[in-house]
Structure 1
Amino acid sequence: MSRSIIPTSPRLPQPVGPISSAVVDLLTTGVGASLNMAHPDPFDRDRQLAWFMLNGLSYRGWRDVHDDMEWHPLAVEWRRNLEEWFMEHAHDQVWLDGLAVAEAIEGALAPDETPGAAAWLAEHGRRDHLADAIAMRMPYQMIEADPHTFAVPRLDGEVKRAICDVQAGEYGVGHEFSHAELYARAASALGVDESDVLDRLPGVAFATVNFITACGLRRSWRHIVVGQLTLFEMDSVAPNRLMVEACDRIGVADEVRRFFHVHVLADAEHEQMMEDAVVKRLCVDDPDCAADVTFGIAAQRWIDRAIARHAVGAWERGRSALAELPVPAAA
């Protein structure tokens, strides 16, 4: 029988500003006060990290933090305020104008001026760049599939069955490892350690898992997470194929290549499942949900492009996409 190498509860990351410092204080002492979450940058490192730590209470928890802190009134208030802060930014950035789901997917998958990280790595990447890319994925990949599972009881019919089928593949049903375990092995093979990486990630690296968690936990946002997952599955094969090419060109351990190759194989099937259930059925049978589905697609694409701009921009300047040390952020 295989054994997971994913730790049960990681340590809390180092805070990088007043908001994340307040979260650490609350989670370790139970004491806190109301905070102003407003900030003009939706990917502000301090706020995204604080939000990630609060969301982490609903997953693996944090070492030396009591599980009951998940429902501490102030933790719930702060989490809700951060969700609404980010979603306000997302709605400001994403323009739908009555776009149909199929059109939203077509637009999201269309090439644009933002160079994708996978394409850049396939052509130019080095081992350290690949390690950066793996590290940037860590907040979501260490709990891959879990955020979407929150939405399952809030759905029904064909879309519920389709997501359960997708989740079974993500959790490794019938296989030796889950996708999260495959990721952990890939990260380990590249020397990427969770306890170090979480202290060095930019704010944008936390945005995907924070966004999915918020939508998965709110019934009123359930169709947003359906749209987000639809994009995930329909925009996975080509980028992961490029990552396999990058692995082959750079020369890395089999565990790294396997992580990306498994996604090429699995997501080709998942892509069709989500297209049939969401694009062809859900949004036709229930037109009222279409706006949320298209928003989920477009908002995740907005996040993806921000991640690519950050990573590729850093690499082209000869820098790591990660921070060297936690840097205090302005409130």
Structure 2
Amino acid sequence: MARKGGFSNQRYPLAKVAAMCGGLVVRPSERIVEDVQIDSRQCSRNSLFFALDGTREHGLSYVGDAAARGCSAVVVSRSDKERAVAMTQPYKCALILVSSPLSALQSLAREYRKMLPQVTSVGITGSCGKSTTKEALAAIASTLGNTIKTPGNFNSEIGLPLSILQLENDTQFGIFELGIDHVGEMDRMVEMLKPDIGLLTNIGISHLEKFTSRSTILEEKGKLFHPGMKMGFVSDDCPYTSALEERSQLRLKQYGFSGVEALDRGLDGWDLSFEGEHFHVSCVGKHLVRDVMGAIQVGLALGADKKDIAEGLEGFRPMQ
């Protein structure tokens, strides 16, 4: 979730934020926006609250609570205008009307990303191994400069825009995890992030019930490698590399266990040696070492050297 002081620690006029969302401001206000929230309990003065449609509850039910906590504005569907006006009437809270609060959140993230061209962004997807790769790469990138990463598993259509909104004016690297479970989701994620570099860990059968076939999973996850991407990576055991290259017209770089010496310490993890530099990672299982190797190869592409890699990964522990 976008942290307090987000938006690069800047203060944005409400009218500008509304335009970025593609929304219409009702009850105009001179207030500013400092952070974005989807949980009314996290709202405070100058927050922007998005009333998203949840699986169990609708965010509209919490518009009044968000307004009472000092929000600058709430973003609601046009169809909910009358209810939202009534709920916010007692407060100095503007309304931004949109066709879809989720699409508006994604639009805001997309436009915000465009304002930070200095950020080199990396998008990581795959049926498994995304989080480990993301965490390992962020550890390496952090040795090179200010790095923002997907917090936890905020890798969905909701989590990605919130993650993007954590970028700051001095951010150099953004490491983002892209998790999808239905057709069309990757299109929207890529449109928001436009990653400079992409990494696909593998193609498995996660969410097969929604995708219906492995070929559909391949097609959808392969959309990560969008036109204009500078560099793409896949594991050297991926049987679909040729198909991915044909679709994307991008020559994909492969990664694996070559170039690293690995000593298995069982439950204590692995002792690794890369180009003469030694470090220990607390990863149990060789599959996690492959994820770390993917992070190393992307780290090299970002400008890391062997010492940066050893420094970043020493003591690395995957997400639990």
Structure with the greater alpha carbon radius of gyration: 2
* Global fold match (TM > 0.5): no
TM-score, length basis structure 1: 0.27
TM-score, length basis structure 2: 0.28
Higher RCO, 1 vs 2 (CA within 8 Å, ≥6 residues apart): 1
Specify which structure has the higher proportion of helix.
Answer: 1
